[in-house]
Amino acid sequence: MSVEAAVAAGALVPGARLPSVRSLAAQLEVSPTTVAAALQDLRRRGVVVSRPRSGVRVADRPPLATAPPEAPVPEGVRDLAGGNPDPAFLPDVHAALRRLSGPPRLYGEEAVAPELRAVAARALAADGIDTAHLAVVGGALDGIERVLGAHLAGGDAVAVEDPGFSGVLDLLRALGLVPLPVAIDTRGMLPASLREALREGARAVLLTPRGQNPTGAALDARRARDLRRVLDAHPGALLVEDDHLGPVAGTPALTLTAGRARWAVVRSVSKWLGPDLRLAVLAGDEQTVQRVAGRQGVGPGWVSTLLQRAVAALWGDAETAALAEQAATVYAGRRRALVQALGQHGIATETPSGLNVWIPVPAEDVAVRGLLTVGWAVSAGSRYRLRTPPAIRVTTSTLRPGEAERFAGDLAALLRPGGRTRAA
């Protein structure tokens, strides 16, 4: 059985380590050169990844339709791994759909519903984003993929946050693009690290202006200014901003796109209107948006205008806006509660925005397994990092009163030398 077939069948699970080239060559009775070439092809398509001191492993999310889903969280375990928003702060999408009326949409009509174009343009323009050219895509990653595909080819390098969103890293590998890690702190990409990535040949820069996943980093005015200076020295580089949290990020939106020749901002509605809408608005320079819309036109054609009109109705609704504002406040409080509880145990972490907290640990597997034994499911940081040290990602969006203190206590007990949790 080939590696790809084994991954598709579930015989090789995400993260599984492959034998050495020499061992595979002996098992398959082919030359090591043939095995090395096959692994390079699998690596190019994102099925496997190479990690320092870990050899070749199956990717966390290999781009195979029959790949098994992630293991479900066991019954009775508190899920702080999923990255989901709190459903209590999502508006009633079904009610918005029921209120729609008018003639059915036919072929050949405008791809962007006028109602959505108007409300999105107002919101984006208020954040300093040029809205002369807009498209609607099927979510943040769909928009990012279409923008990258409009300008890049396999083998091109992309500067990405490290740690960064696992979905972006998986997407880059599946597209045959090379991620160049850029170190970050609580204010986003470090200018010196971005400068180095651009000097190494990055043709595009992909960053999160606020609510960065997994760390919660957010640009401030000074960091945005410093990053613009770095980007100004590379006017031909494509800049893509992934504003996946929108108004519930917990901090104002800042953009680096002003004056750039090639750029795009992708603003998803998943975290504040509902993940199942699968919709994001994409603003960009004229050529980029034309290429994205043109490629859509020879593929799916358009994103359903029923969904677009429902999103427009919700986005422009005062009650929905109030709900999003409430969500941002509650999310900030829950995030703060965990950071403060961890601090009381000497575990320092800063998280200025977003739905997750990034916690450095000595060994990810030990932390993840240890927490699971006492009822907490968290994400191992290996999915999100390229060069940064081990950590775990904890989603705080649904934390209940008292949970932050209990979680912090359990983690602290686990991290102490010879540590034991309350159930150990």
Mean per-residue pLDDT of the chain: 92
Domains 3-58 and 78-88+320-415 are alike in CATH topology? no
CATH 1.20.1250.20 is held by the domain 3-58: no
pLDDT at 66 over 70: no
Does the structure show a pLDDT above 70 at 52? no
Is the pLDDT higher at 109 or at 46?
109
- Residue range 243-257: mean pLDDT, rounded: 97
- Given a cut of 90, whether residue 418 has pLDDT beyond it is no
Mean pLDDT calculated for residue range 25-37: 79
The domain limits of the chain are 3-58, 78-88+320-415, 94-316
**Sequence-ordered list of residues with C-beta below 8 angstroms from that of 85, at least 6 positions apart, any chain:** 248, 270, 271, 272, 275, 327, 355, 397
Let me know how long the chain is: 424
pTM of the model: 0.87
Contact (CB, 8 A) for 298 and 274: no
Judged by average pLDDT, the poorest of 49-58, 305-314, 343-352, 412-421 is 49-58
Residue-wise pLDDT tens digits, 159-174:
999 999 999 999 999 9
Span between the terminal Cα atoms of the chain, in Å? 41
Over range 18-34, report the average pLDDT.
80
Q: Give pLDDT tens digits for 89-104.
A: 999 999 999 999 999 8
* Residue 53 in this model has a pLDDT that exceeds 90: no
Mean pLDDT of 395-403: 97
Architecture of domain 94-316: 3-Layer(aba) Sandwich (3.40)
Question: Is residue 424's pLDDT more than 70?
Answer: no
Superfamily of domain 78-88+320-415: Aspartate Aminotransferase, domain 1 (3.90.1150.10)
For residue range 171-202, what is the model confidence (pLDDT) as tens digits?
999 999 999 999 999 999 999 999 999 999 99
